[in-house]
Amino acid sequence: MVHVRSKNDLVEAVEAGADCIEHIFQPETPESLREAEDAADLMAKHGVFWCPTLTTYEQISSAGSIPYLERLLEDGIITAAEMTATRANPFYHQGFPRVSAGEALARLDYGTKTLRLFADRGVRIVAGSDVAIAMSRPGALLRELQLFVQAGLDAAAVIRSATVNAADRLGLPTEGSDFRAGAVADAILVNANPLASIDALVRSRHIVKVFKAGVPVDRV
């Protein structure tokens, strides 16, 4: 996995044998899709995964704003207690030293605009978050799934990005990503259809049961 900032970084990484690209690059011409088309074709040709980390750039572009936390609260990503704790965390308000809010917004916009393009051209998308300060590790990943939906991926593709694709990228057995005899029984039972709305997986009120290796997990 190689972290990139520019399209040139991406090209060099793929040509050097990288198997996954982390982050959306900073486009030279944000109004054009040509850079994304070229990058997607190159990555698809070499079988390279892409982990765009949209949630990272969403947070950096928010520049420590309270309305951003309020949006996460409304979308079910953080609780009121987590919002209070984050507001009190000085690191949240300091920004990110290596990426400005303006650059982060440009990369978020370009990633949102081109995610479907990459997927349609055969690039396997992996959900990942870089663990943004405003959210817990699980919360940051769930936010990434919401952003994937907003970027135009259908729910089935979004679920694959966090299960089968992620397992393949990490070299893990994919038996935990499907339901069949002999598969790893790590699963959640929800009371809504995640193919109709990703909220069925994101919002905890929909989770009925959690299973680890087939054994129910006490969530209290």
Spans of all domains in the chain: 2-174, 185-220
Q: Return the bridge partners of 20, or none.
A: 49
User: Who's near 8: CB < 8 A, 6+ residues apart?
Assistant: none
Which helix or strand (DSSP H or E) is residue 211 part of? strand 207-212
Residue 175 has a pLDDT of 58
Half-sphere CA count of 4, side-chain side, radius 13 A: 26
Q: Which of 120, 124, 132 is nearest to 54 (CA)?
A: 132
Which residues of the chain fall below pLDDT 70? 132, 174-178, 220
Residue 141 has a pLDDT of 93
Residue 134 has a pLDDT of 78
CATH of 2-174, picked from 3.90.1640.10, 1.10.3210.10, 3.20.20.140, 3.40.190.10, is: 3.20.20.140
Residue 133 has a pLDDT of 75
Residue 176 has a pLDDT of 56
State pLDDT tens for residues 56-103.
999 999 988 999 999 999 999 999 999 999 889 888 888 788 899 999
